[in-house]
């Protein structure tokens, strides 16, 4: 029997349910329905401990990450949630101390991101599963499909740190003390670009959360906008290049195909670039201008007079390993 990937399952479900015909923005980071002169925005994201949380993460950090995952998708649309529901599948062997640790993780996220958790559901499972559902309201949604010729492609921060952090935690990769601290923290305490996303929404023509990896994100924006995305500079740092070289890892692999980044990838008109750079500084984001939007299709990287196709792959559940 043919094994289905996450994207194939989503496509089958969407077509069977006819989601594209239900007066909603679909196939995007969030689901929406018209509400008076605005949109009701819905986002749910499921965290499964065995596939989404490396062992060094505490239960408190796992619970916090489940909130971050949903927040990041809202952030790239410029939306702040007004209410959050959290449902849990809890293993029978969990102790009172472990449950309190999970609850404290939610409490930390509430305070850190001004999230209002109002309820949810609890069931039994073989491992910890957290399903987070957020609701927001907005009068404008930045879709994945709005990129136009001549616009610039930007990211809200560097890429490759989470993939490097996993290499350090799981593969015992060698690194400097400073780089190890940054990379591991990216894995266990990720941060969504909520404030920057809200401000960026005034200027972005398309945007997307990058938690599945930079390459997948660029391809999805390119596909939905029906434009070619040309990358001239990868969004990363010299210390990551040094880490890759020291451990004989592919630098491009870490940056393009790692996943779990929680950065925003967006397109903006060139005339707004200075304003967006100022917003990034104001919200303590390191903005990278990585390329431009052109007529055509696909995602390519330029350098040394060559054009190389960037593969459409990254982190995807149920994909072939």
Q: What is the pLDDT of residues 178-197, one digit of tens each?
A: 999 999 999 999 999 999 99
**Containing H/E element for 50?**
helix 49-52
**CATH number of residue 300's parent domain:** 3.90.650.10
What interhelical angle do 161-171 and 238-247 show, nearest 10? Answer: 30
281 in Cβ contact with 274 (< 8 Å): no
| Residue of higher predicted confidence among 25 and 131 | 131
Confidence of residue 318 (pLDDT cuts 50, 70, 90): very low
Q: Could you tell me which residues are beta bridge partners of residue 228?
A: 294
Q: Work out whether strand 38-48 and strand 31-35 pair parallel, antiparallel, or are unpaired.
A: antiparallel
Same domain? For 51 and 125 the reply is: yes
The predicted pLDDT at position 34 comes to 87
The predicted pLDDT at position 304 comes to 79
Same domain? For 212 and 127 the reply is: no
pLDDT at 23 over 80: no
| Residue of higher predicted confidence among 18 and 97 | 97
Mean pLDDT of all residues belonging to the chain: 92
Same domain? For 169 and 69 the reply is: no
- pLDDT cut 70: percent of the chain above it: 94
State the residue range of the domain holding 293: 152-309
Q: Which residues contact 82 (CB under 8 A, 6 or more apart)?
A: 116, 135, 136, 137
108, 138, 168 — which closes off a domain? 138
Do you know the residue count of the chain?
321
pLDDT at 230 over 70: yes
pLDDT at 263 over 90: yes
**CATH number of residue 30's parent domain:** 3.30.1330.10
pTM surpassing 0.95? no
Same domain? For 164 and 131 the reply is: no
């Amino acid at each position: 029997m043919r094994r289905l990937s996450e994207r194939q399952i989503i496509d089958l479900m969407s077509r069977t349910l006819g989601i594209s015909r239900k007066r909603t923005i679909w196939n995007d980071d969030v689901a929406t329905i018209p509400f008076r002169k605005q949109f009701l925005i819905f986002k749910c994201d499921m965290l499964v401990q065995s596939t989404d949380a490396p062992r060094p993460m505490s239960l408190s950090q796992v619970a916090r990450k489940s909130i971050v995952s949903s927040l990041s998708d809202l952030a790239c649309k410029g939306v702040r949630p007004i209410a959050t529901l959290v449902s849990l599948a809890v293993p029978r062997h969990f102790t009172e101390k472990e449950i309190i640790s999970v609850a404290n993780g939610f409490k930390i996220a509430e305070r850190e991101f001004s999230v209002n958790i109002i309820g949810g559901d609890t069931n039994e499972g073989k491992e910890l599963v957290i399903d987070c559902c957020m609701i927001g309201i907005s009068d404008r949604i930045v879709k994945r499909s709005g990129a136009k010729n001549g616009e610039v492609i930007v990211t809200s921060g560097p890429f490759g740190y989470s993939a490097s952090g996993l290499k350090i935690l799981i593969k015992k990769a060698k690194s400097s003390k400073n780089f190890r601290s940054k990379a591991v923290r990216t894995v266990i305490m990720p941060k969504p670009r909520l404030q920057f996303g809200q401000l960026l929404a005034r200027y972005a023509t398309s945007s997307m959360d990058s938690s599945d990896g930079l390459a997948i994100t660029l391809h999805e924006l390119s596909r939905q906008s029906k434009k070619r995305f040309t990358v001239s500079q990868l969004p990363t740092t010299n210390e990551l290049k040094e880490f890759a070289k020291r451990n004989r890892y592919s630098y491009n692999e870490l940056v393009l195909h790692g996943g779990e980044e929680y950065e925003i990838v967006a397109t903006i008109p060139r005339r707004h670039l200075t304003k967006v750079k100022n917003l990034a500084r104001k919200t303590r984001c390191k903005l990278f201008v990585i390329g431009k939007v052109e007529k055509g299709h696909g995602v390519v990287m330029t350098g040394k007079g060559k054009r190389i196709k960037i593969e459409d792959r990254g982190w995807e559940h149920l994909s072939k390993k």
